[in-house]
Structure 1
Amino acid sequence: MKPNRSIPASTVIPVLIYPDVREAVAWLGAAFGFVERVRIGEDHRAQLSFGDGAMIVGDVRKDRRPPRPGEVTHSVIVRVKDVRAHCEQARRHGARIVMEPADFEYGERQYTAEDLAGHQWTFSETIADVAPEEWGGTSVTPH
């Protein structure tokens, strides 16, 4: 891919909609550790980074809306170094913890949180290298 400073370098870039872009950027930084890299208008869009990943916070307009209360339309998984510490940081900033940190047979320790607009996030820490076949998954060779 050709580099372009106007878009994150990540291959996959989710766009999540928030009622107040500036509030979302501040909250996502404080609670989850995202860093703003590009601002587009005062309250239109913002590009955020986290490690080698990226996301875009978009404003509400026409058919673009955040999730409705009690509705889960998607979840974003973010890999972190220390799930327990990250969970406590998110909790201190008002994230609703949907699932407390737990260890899973596939080698990950994870927790799930809901942000200020109702988006669900799962944060994952690798605790072991486990082959998918060891827990019932199937390794598929890319085509």
Structure 2
Amino acid sequence: MPRPGLISALAYDDPKAAVAWLEKAFGFEVALLVEDDEGRLAHCEMTYGESTIMIGSPWHERIASPGMVGGKTTQTVHIQLGADVDAHCARARAAGAEIFAEPEDQFYGDRTYRCYDLEGHIWTVSAPVEAVSIAEMEARSGHKITTPSA
């Protein structure tokens, strides 16, 4: 029984190719695959750790893969790793990801890289490398950071 939560759904012009690529590049695993009577992918659910994403074709006139609309996108997807962002980046690069932000330590204590997938979706991949207090994050970034009161 699914638990309450949020699942991102991504549209691809070639969703079967996307499923294979996401397995190879990022390490996602297929949890559910639905094909129509002609063997086309109708719906796929993939997991990474405790998280799930859905993969499919555009099913509405306002849904498109970035490659279908000149590379534009209205959301990005974030993968939170346990460790070794550099190895994950190398794996994604070897699978054909276009890395547009190389792995770099961030003011908030994560090491992060960013890439485009095979159809232009933007992915951010991070892992914690140090514990950083709110005060230190503010000092490093120049931003004012607030959290809800307990």
Name the TM tier (shorter chain): 0.7 to 0.9
1:44-83 deviation line (CA, Å, top 9, x unaligned) = 1100000011100021233221123342321111111210
Identity of aligned residues (%): 33
Deviates more, 1:123-132 or 1:90-99: 123-132
CA contact (8 A) 1:114 1:121 kept: yes
Letter of the 1:141 counterpart = P
| Number of the residue aligned with 1:138 | 145
**TM-score, normalised with respect to structure 2:** 0.83
Distance (whole Å) between structure 2 residues aligned to residue 44 and residue 58 of structure 1 = 6
Deviates more, 1:58-67 or 1:133-142: 133-142
Deviates more, 1:98-107 or 1:55-64: 55-64
CA contact (8 A) 1:10 1:52 kept: no
CA contact (8 A) 1:133 1:139 kept: no
Q: Which of 99, 102, 107 pairs up with 2:101?
A: 99
The structure where helix makes up a greater share of residues is: 2
| Number of the residue aligned with 1:55 | 53
1:93-126 deviation line (CA, Å, top 9, x unaligned) = 1000010000011101000010011100000010
Q: Which of 89, 113, 118 pairs up with 2:91?
A: 89
| Number of the residue aligned with 1:117 | 119
Structure 2: any 5+ residue segments left out of the alignment? 139-143
Which has the greater radius of gyration?
Answer: 2
Task: Sort the Cα spacing of 1:96 and 1:69 in 2 relative to 1 into closer, same or farther, 3 A.
Answer: farther
| Number of the residue aligned with 1:28 | 22
The runs of at least 4 consecutive aligned structure 1 residues that moved more than 4 Å come to none
| Number of the residue aligned with 1:17 | 11
Task: Sort the Cα spacing of 1:139 and 1:47 in 2 relative to 1 into closer, same or farther, 3 A.
Answer: same
Question: How many equivalent pairs are there?
Answer: 137
Please report the RMSD computed on the Cα atoms of aligned residues, expressed in angstroms.
Answer: 1.7
| Number of the residue aligned with 2:141 | none
Distance (whole Å) between structure 2 residues aligned to residue 132 and residue 28 of structure 1 = 34
